[in-house]
Each structure stands twice: as C-alpha cells, then as structure tokens.
Structure 1
Amino acid sequence: MFGLEISSVPAILPNVEKVLHAGFSSVQWIMNAYTIACTAVLMAAGTLADRYGRKRILLISVLAFGVTSLICGLAHDTTVLIASRFLQGLSGGVMVICQIAALSHQFQEGPRRSRAFAAWGIILGVGLGFGPIIGSAIVALLDWTWVFLIQVPLALLTTALIAGSVDESRDPEAKTLDLAGIVTMSLSVFSLTFYITQGPELGFASAAGLACIAVSAASFLAFVYVEKHRAHPMFDFSVFRIRPFSGALYGSMGMNFSFWPFMIYLPIYFQSALGYDVVSAGFALLAYTLPTLVVPPLAERLVLRYQPRIVIPAGLFTIGLGFLLMKLGSAMDHASWLSMLPGCVVAGAGLGMTNTPVTNTTTGSVPTSRAGMASGIDMSARLITLAINIALMGFLLLQGIFFHLERATQGALDASQLRHMAERIASGSVAETSLAGLAEGVAQSALVHGFGWVMLFGCIGAWVLAVASFVTFGPGATVQDTICCNATESA
C-alpha cells in the first residue's frame, strides 16, 4: 500500500493538473503535503507504537489510511486534495513506522531477520515497481480518482492479514508523547519547503521569504534545544554515536535526495519532452522502478558478505551513476526511452541495493525495545529529505527552463512573462506555449535543458552522500556486533 501510493500518484499528476486546473506549485504540494504529514507524525508514531502496542497502532493506521484514501478519491478541488493528502500522509507515516517496528521485533535473529527484510523489500518493490503502470492504466481506463480509491479494499484486506499474523509487542519503558518536538520539527520542515516552493513568486529576498527561512531556522534550533533538554526525548541524539546507524542514515537521505523526488517529475519528461501518452509513459517508468523489486534479495546477500558499510555507499554511488547516464541519454539528438533506459535501470538498481539494507541496519543497530524510535528517525530522515528535494528539484527545473528561454528569446519577453512560461512548460504544457508566441521546439528544448539541471543535481547529491556514508561507517564493528553490544548494555 505504501509503495503503491508513492509510485502511482506521480504517474497521474499531469492528468490531475489538467483536470483540476492546478498550477506547477500545486502539483508539488499534492506530493509535499503527504511527505510533510508523514514527517510530522513519524516520531509520534514510534512512541505510540512502543507504548500502546505496535500491532494495535498498525491496525488503526491501516484503517485510517483506507479512510483518508477514500477522501482523496472523492476530492474534486486542488485545495481539498492537498488537505486530504495531508491526512493520508499522517496515517501513512504511522503505518510504515509500525510495520518496520513490528517486523524488527518479530524477526530478531540474523539469518531470519535478513530473509524477513528481504521479503519486506520485495513487497515494497511490488508497489513501487508496478505503481507507475498501475497509475497510468487507471487514468487511461477509469479516471485519476481510482488511484486513491483502490487503497480502500487493500486496507480491508491488510487489516485482516495483520490481525491474524502479527505478534503484539511494546516497550515497557516507553514515555509520553513529545508534542514540543513534533511541532518544532514539523514547522521547520514546512517553512523551509514553503520557502523553496514559493520563493520565485514571493521573492527569496522579500520580507515574506526571509520570514519563512527565519521561522524554519528558529524552529529547528528550538527542536534541538527541546530534544537535548527533555528527560525522555522522542529524538535521541545519542544514537548518532552508533556509527552503523549514522552511516545508514546517510543512505536514507541519499535515496530521497535523488531517486524518489525525481519520480515526481519523470512522468512529465516522458510525456512532454518525449511526447509519450500516459500509458506509454507508465511503461517507460517501469525501467526506473522495477529494479527496486528485483535487487533487494541480492542486496541482503551482499550485506551478509560485505557488510552494510560497503553495500550502502555502493548503492548510493550506483544511483548517482544512473542519474549521470540519464542526463547523457536525455541530451542525445534523438532522445527516447531507449536512450534513457540504461540510466533508469542503473538508478533503480542502486535504490534496490540501498533501501532494505538501510532499514535493516538502522533498526538492527539499536536494542529491539527501541526499534520504534530508530525506524522513526530513519523515516524522518527519508521524508524530510524527500520533502525538501521535491521543492529543490522543482526549483531547479524552473530555473533551468527560465535561463534557456531567456537566451532563446533574447530579451523579447520580460522576466514575469518568462517565469509564467517556464511554469507552464515545467508542468507539461509544452504545446500550449506556442499560443503565446513561443515555438514548440524552443519550449521542448527548454524543458530538456531544465531536466538536465535536475539530473545533474541528483547525481552530485547521491555521490556526496555516498562518500559521507562510507566515511561515517568507518572500519568499525558490524551491525551484528552492535546489536550484541546494545543488548548487553540494555540488560
């Protein structure tokens, strides 16, 4: 359910934009409302699951995900859809944290744990891998609302499966909910994302823009202060002293710095730059997502042989290499899905190498009683990075298009006209810009130029975080050694 929601919704965004007459910024917020809501509730979810029972909270969250998906499917206004996506994100964040914590508790031994997380990676990969074609097929055969409505029967089925198969578990030492930490962190992420997304319209140096960035910085400092001075914080900074945990956390950030935020924009490239219809674009996206289904079992075997400190940085490097190959493929004179295929496959393989080892390492580096907290920090790192980079990639796409148009028009249009055209092109309305006196060929080349900026950004970001992960892991203990050490300290 969670994987399907991540990968199917981007495939329908160009259609949603036309049906609901949404702007480029609104499309970004349809995704970011979900990711910011997930981030807001992650640490609370870990605390609630540890305190009241992981199975119990998981059941509640799955049912809530079904209900909020129904609300999304019934929305026929951009504002309502963004608000309902926020509610869906709240339940989705709780759902994913509880499933990881429950899985970590139920499978604690090395080989069985690796097999369990490999299976988890495969199932997540099914949703992620086939999401684009499912979303595209739904748009072609029905309408975009069924991308959300399909989650309702899935929620009922999942509830029945959880009730009969998941063991109840909790942390007897779990403390009260940290509301101050939740509010300050959520406000910081929201303000920074709002600043990046709305900056071109508000003005980055305007009073409103500077106020946003000031609120973000102040909220983050308040968050750090609250967590450091709270007797039982939801965000325990002491876990960052565990090198495998911190090294794996860079892996979480790396995946969501490049691979996942680009999923939002790749359908626009296939449909508007390459001219594919929605179904063809969905098939083309399979090259990007299907490796995430195939590679996780191999990744777990590699972890057992070479340790996470090698596999996770190697996975991030592979993602970056994929983005570089995509940039080269998109710059060819006759670019097509074939020229993009090598980069898409390599990037997807890198994601598959990184995803389940990161999850297994972060939860396995701390005592099992703190699995909820560890998975909360892991998913927070993922979703905070995702929310910020959805905004950053959108900004770079707009700027790349803007500068190309500025050179092509040679001063014939003023900055506000160019900005408006850039937004139209970035949202996929390439053909419509010809009505405003801009040749379609220029608009299309501007879109390709903007995507080149985004792909280069994804490549550099993944490689920088790969180096950070490798250095942070260091030559120290394996994850299994860390688990034993933590178990002894806990006893």
Structure 2
Amino acid sequence: MLVLATCCLSLFIVGVDNTIVNVALPSIQHDLRASVSGLQWIITAYTVVLAGLLMLAGSTGDRIGRRRTFRAGLVLFMLGSLLCSIAPNLGLLVAARALQAVGGSMLNPVAMSIITNTFREPRERARAIGVWGAVAGVSMALGPLLGGALVGSVGWRAIFWINIPVGLAALVLCALFVPESRAERPRPADPVGQLLITVLLAGLTYGLIEAPSAGWASAQTAGCCAAAALALACLVRYELRRAQPLIDPRLFLSAPFAGATVIAVCGFASLGGFLFLNTLYLQDVRGCSPFHAGLLTLPMAGLTMVFSPLAGRLVAARGARLPLLAAGSGMAAGTLAMTGLSAHTATWHLVIAYALFGFGFGMLNAPITNTAVSGMPRAQAGVAAAVATTSRQTGQALGVAVIGSLVTSATHGPLHTGFAQASHVGWWVGTACGVAVLAIGILTTGRWAGQTAARAAQRHVPG
C-alpha cells in the first residue's frame, strides 16, 4: 500500500497540473500579454510533449529500471515547475512547461507498471487500478478549485510551487519503499517509432492551433496535417515490420483495447475543451475572480471525487460497460447544457451543467485504465499503461487545439463581447465527444468485442 501511495502521489501532481493551469490562463494572459493561441500553447506544450514521450518512458522503465526512471521523472518535473514559476515571458513559460512534461512522461506509465508488478493477484490489481483511476479523476477535478484559490490569493506563479513539496515527498517515499524492477524481456529502443509519434502529434497540434491565424485552407495548415497523416502511415507500416515494436498495431485488432484508446481521446478532448472554454467564459465574459471561478466549478470537482472511486469498484465487480455508459451520458449532457451559453446564463444552469459533466468524467478513468492494462502481458505493463495515458493526453491536447481554434475563428471583437456566442460550436464538439464515448462503450464491451480480444491475443507474440 505504501508503494501504491507513492505512485499515486506522482499521479496527483501530474493530474492537478493538467487542469490547474486552466484557471490561471486569464491572469497569465494579462501578465505576459499572451494571445488566445499563446494560451493554447501553455496547455498543449505540456500535453503534446507528455503524449509524445509516454511510450518511450514506459519501455525505458521496463528496460533500465522502473524506480530509476520514476525518480528521474520526479526530479525533472519539479525542476520544470520551478522554472515555470519564474518564467519572465510566454516563450520561456511554454519551454518550461515542455520540460515539466518530459518529467511527467516518466511518472504515470512507470508508476502503473510498478503497481501492476506489485499487485499480482487479479482482484487486488483491479482494486489498485481502481484507486489509481480515482486519484486521476480527483486530481484533475481539484485543479480548477485549487488553482482558483492560489491565483486569487498569491498569484498565478503559485500554481507551480505546490508541485515541489509533493514531488519531494514522493521522492523520499520512492527511495524508502519502492523496489527496483525491470521487465524480463524488455523491448529495445525504437528511435524511429518515437520520432514518428512526435511528428504526428506535433504536426497535427501545431496545424490546428495556428489555423485561425494562418487560415484553415492555408499551405501551412495543409502541410502540418499532411505531415501528421504521413507520419501515422509510416508509423503503422514501420511498427508492423519490427520484431519488437514500440507499440504493436495488431493490438488494436482487439475491440476493447482499441475502444479504450478512442474513448480516452474523445473523453479527454471533451474535458480539455470544457476547461479551456469555461475558464475564459467565467473570467473574461462574466468577470469572475479566479477564486470565484474555481468555486463555481466545485460541483464538477465534487462529483468527480465521489464517482471516481465508485467507478473503480464498479469495474472490478461488473466490468467496464456500465461506467462507460454513465460517463458518456453525463459528459454529453453537461456539454449539451452549455450549447446555448450567453453572458447572462443563470448560475443554477451552469451548476447543473458542471455537475453532469463531473459525474460523467468521474466514471471515465477507471474503465479506460482497466481495459488497457488487462489485455497486455505483465512484462509490458509500462507500455500498456503508456497507451492509455498517451490517449488521454493526446485527447486533451486535441480538445484544446480543435475547440479553441474553432471558437477563436468564430470570435469577433473582444472576448467579453463575442466569446459566449462563439463558444457554442466548441460546446457542440464536446457534446459529440460525449456521445462517441457512449456509443463506443456500447460497441466495445459486448460478446463480439470479447471475441476480437481473444483473436488479437492469439496473434500477438510478446517481445
């Protein structure tokens, strides 16, 4: 349990950091004179780098030692947090966020691998993964509330300070209680595959974020999207031909595994867009202080905290289907309630929307993690956890990029006058993501899906 607590501490600071920055965006915008696309980069520089390196970090931990990789990640994450807190301009802040992400990439997949190899009995492992999923949901839900309190009382730089004492505590516990472990037959390094993943994520995200200023039909946007598509095609072809791939594309022949990946992308795209739009709406349109904005989102945080552990127990007892149906329904209903947003929308209406979304998001994490890890060999647990976490971070990056860019393109004039109406298209995209979670959850948790998983397991030969 001490090992689990240590791993969950690392997950907590990474999860909080994913969402705590959102509530500080208006303050950062004012202080550093950033544009809306600059604000998008503060979020996506972290999530894109994190997503791009998670696969490498998972396999590296399996190969050179999970505790060693975990400790290096904690040190880099704390160093990045310190540099963020003293960044004098937008460019250096974005660079420090990227350094944070390098450290963060070494934490979650490696921690999940440590947990999977510590809890070997299936029911115990399911409970541990349930706790892990609950901490993931709780940490991300607490981010806006905690961030609002810190920004309102101390300033936006304080949101990065809190990572340092928590990281130090995790570092001490890791040294005392976490044993070193490696995979018996780890995969070799795959620099070509890693490069292709980086080009895919960076090209797609850059093209989407810069599209409002460059033009959606511009050569820059088309070139970035074409580079991303080419990188994806080359990645699949290259990995299929390797004896020991970074990630075997044949695993995606399993409907539950592929479904968990797509659900994670859709669910976290909805979350990323929700937090980004809601922060700008509350502070720039309605004139709320950071703390007041954080308080208004308390129903979302509270219900996520309540239902995240319940979802973990529900997955362990009855499987992933029911939590996924609840997650898709709640998230779709929450974003649907925001599609008619105006500068004068009643507070009770916002609170209901936040509560619905918080309930849905609380039910989301546990079934994603359980499905992704349970279908992989224990020796490759780091890679399995990295797939699930990569999907989450990719989804969040794409949500901020796509929804933020669509809303930016539709905004005319200052944010406080045109943003509420322009945000409608973003809320509809978030609703579509919630519906996708619901539909894919139904499709990938039935008898047919189980048969595809069995066939995929027979085809896959662990490295």
TM-score by length of 2: 0.91
For 2:167, the equivalent position in structure 1 comes to 155
Instruction: Tell me the residue number matched to 2:443.
Output: 471
1:320 counterpart letter in structure 2: A
Matches within 5 A, 1:167-182: 167-182=179-194
1:2, CA displacement in angstroms? 1.0
Give how far 1:226 is off: 1.8
Does residue 390 (structure 1) correspond to residue 362 (structure 2)? The answer is no
How far does the alpha carbon of each residue in 1:19-42 deviate from its partner, in whole angstroms, 9 at most, with x for none? 001111100001110011001211
Are 2:328 and 1:316 equivalent residues in the alignment? yes
Q: Which residue of 2 aligns with 1:204?
A: 216
Matched residues in 2 for 1:66 and 1:6: separation? 15
The 8 Å contact of residues 248 and 312 in structure 1, kept in 2 or not, is answered as no
- Which amino acid in the other structure matches residue 356 of structure 2? V
Larger radius of gyration: 1
Partners in 2 of 1:21 and 1:373 — Cα distance?
40
SS of structure 1 residue aligned to 2:234? helix
Alpha-carbon distance change, 390 to 327 in structure 1, aligned in 2, over 3 angstroms: same
Report the aligned-residue RMSD.
2.3
- Structure 1: how far apart are the matches of 2:225 and 2:241? 24
Q: Deviations over 1:50-69 (max 9, x none)?
A: 11122221111111111111
Alignment pair present for 1:335 and 2:307 = no
Q: Distance in 1 between matches of 2:87 and 2:58?
A: 30
* 1:1-16 equivalent positions in 2, closer than 5 A: 1-16=13-28
Cα distance in structure 2, aligned partners of 1:156 and 1:447: 41
- Alpha-carbon distance in structure 2 between the residues aligned to 1:388 and 1:131: 20
Letter of the 1:395 counterpart:
S
Cross-structure match for 1:347: 357
Displacement after TM superposition at 1:385 (Å): 2.1
Any idea what the Cα deviations from partners look like across 1:250-291, whole Å, max 9, x if unmatched?
A: 321222121233212211111123221121001112222232
> 1:81-128 deviations in whole A, cap 9, x for unaligned?
011111111111221111112112212323322321232233334422
Name the residue aligned to 2:420: 448
1:135 to 147, 152, 158: 147
What is aligned with 1:356?
366
Distance 1:464 1:237 in 2: 22
1:257 maps to what in 2?
Answer: 269
Which whole-Å deviations, capped at 9, do the CAs of 1:330-385 have from their partners, x for residues lacking one? 35x84133211111111111111110221122111212111111111112222222
Q: Is the 8 A contact 1:324 1:456 kept in 2?
A: yes
The answer on whether the counterparts of 2:336 and 2:427 sit within 8 Å (CA) in structure 1 is yes
Amino acid at match of 1:452: H
Matches of 2:323 and 2:251, distance apart in 1: 21
Does the 8 A contact of 2:300 with 2:357 survive in 1?
yes
C-alpha contact (below 8 Å) 2:297/2:351 kept by paired residues: no
Q: Cα deviation per residue 1:223-247 (whole Å; 9 max; x = unaligned)?
A: 2222122221101112223332222
Q: Shift in Å at residue 13 of structure 1?
A: 0.7
Matches within 5 A, 1:46-195: 46-195=58-207
Residue correspondence of structure 1 range 408-423 to structure 2 within 5 A: 421=413
Query: Aligned partners of 2:387, 2:423: CA distance in 1, in Å?
Result: 31
Work out the CA distance in 2 between the residues paired with 1:351 and 1:227. Answer: 33
- 1:228 is matched with which residue? 240
8 A contact 1:10–1:265 mirrored in 2: no
Contact 2:203 2:227 in 1 (8 A): yes
Asked whether the 8 Å contact 1:274–1:336 carries over to 2, the reply is: no
Please list the CA deviations of residues 425-483 of structure 1 after superposition, one character each: whole Å capped at 9, or x if unmatched. Answer: 1xxxx2xxxxxxxxxxxx1xx3221222211110112212421232133325779x97x
Query: For the structure 1 residues 161 and 261, does the alpha-carbon distance in structure 2 shift closer, same or farther, using more than 3 Å as the test?
Result: farther
Q: Given residue 355 of structure 2, which amino acid in structure 1 is its aligned partner?
A: V
- Residue pair 1:49, 1:57 contacting (<8 A) in 2 also: yes
- Work out whether 1:373 is the aligned partner of 2:377: no
Which residue does 2:6 correspond to in 1?
Answer: none
The answer on whether the counterparts of 2:273 and 2:426 sit within 8 Å (CA) in structure 1 is no
What does 1:235-314 align with in structure 2 at a 5 Å threshold? Answer: 235-314=247-326
Structure 2 distance, partners of 1:26, 1:5, is 18
Higher mean C-alpha displacement, 158-167 vs 122-131 = 122-131
| TM-score (structure 1 length as normaliser) | 0.86
Q: Hey, what's the Cα distance between the residues in 2 that align with 1:346 and 1:104?
A: 32
CA distance in 1, matches of 2:266, 2:219: 32
| Counterpart secondary structure, 1:288 | helix
Q: Does 1:458 align with 2:454?
A: no
Contact kept? 2:247, 2:383, Cα under 8 Å: yes
Counterpart contact for 2:315–2:366, Cα < 8 Å = no
Which residue of structure 1 aligns with residue 33 of structure 2? 21
What amino acid is the match of 1:241?
L
User: Which ranges in structure 1 are unaligned for 5 or more consecutive residues?
Assistant: 403-420, 431-442
1: CA distance between counterparts of 2:370 and 2:85? 34
Deviations 1:366-419 (A, max 9, x none): 1211111111111222222221221111122123334xxxxxxxxxxxxxxxxx
Structure 1 residue 151, shift from structure 2 partner? 1.1
Aligned residues: 447
Q: Which residue of 2 aligns with 1:433?
A: none
Residue 164 of structure 1 aligns to a residue in which SS?
helix
SS state at 1:76 partner: coil
State how far apart, in whole Å, the 1-side matches of 2:449 and 2:116 are. Answer: 20
Is the CA contact 2:40–2:404 (under 8 Å) kept in the aligned structure 1?
yes
By how many angstroms is 1:179 displaced? 0.9
Deviates more, 1:25-34 or 1:245-254: 245-254
Asked if residue 41 in structure 1 is aligned to residue 82 in structure 2, the reply is no
- Percentage of matched positions with identical amino acids: 28
Deviates more, 1:10-19 or 1:316-325: 316-325
Q: CA deviation at 1:48?
A: 0.4
Q: Distance between the aligned counterparts of 1:216 and 1:476, measured in 2?
A: 32
SS, match of residue 23 in structure 2: helix
CA contact (8 A) 1:311 1:354 kept: yes
Greater displacement, 89-98 / 122-131 = 122-131
CA–CA separation in structure 1 for the residues paired with 2:313 and 2:135: 17
